[in-house]
Amino acid sequence: MSKSDNTVQFKSIYDYLRGKVPGVNVSGANTINIRGYNSVNGSITPLFILNNTAVDQSVFGDVVPTTIKQIRVLKGPETATYGSRGANGVIIVETF
């Protein structure tokens, strides 16, 4: 097989994440749920970090999967570094 036959193509970063990380659910509407429902503010949206900068989900959604160097998903106590912003989990993306 050629290299291109071994490379899985993803349309979006949501397709890239879907089904890859246990405990991370990506709905058909591209809603990401890491830790469940947060009763404090009613939000389920995690904190998105792109190349060491917090970004909105709209910016996160524009990441081209072929430019992804690494993705880390933080949940539980490891999100404490991010304070209340990380209450719903943190997705850290590094690109080339």
C-alpha–C-alpha distance, residues 11 and 73, integer Å: 20
Q: Which tens digit of pLDDT belongs to each residue from 4-32? A: 433 367 889 999 898 777 788 999 899 99
Q: Which tens digit of pLDDT belongs to each residue from 39-95? A: 455 678 999 999 999 999 999 999 999 999 999 999 889 999 999 999 899 999 999
Q: Read off the tokens for 19.
A: 């089904």
Q: Which domains does the chain show, CATH number per domain? A: 3-95 (2.170.130.10)
pLDDT at 72: 94
* Residues 6 or more apart in contact with residue 21 via CB below 8 angstroms: 73
Residues 60 and 46: beta-carbon distance below 8 Å: no
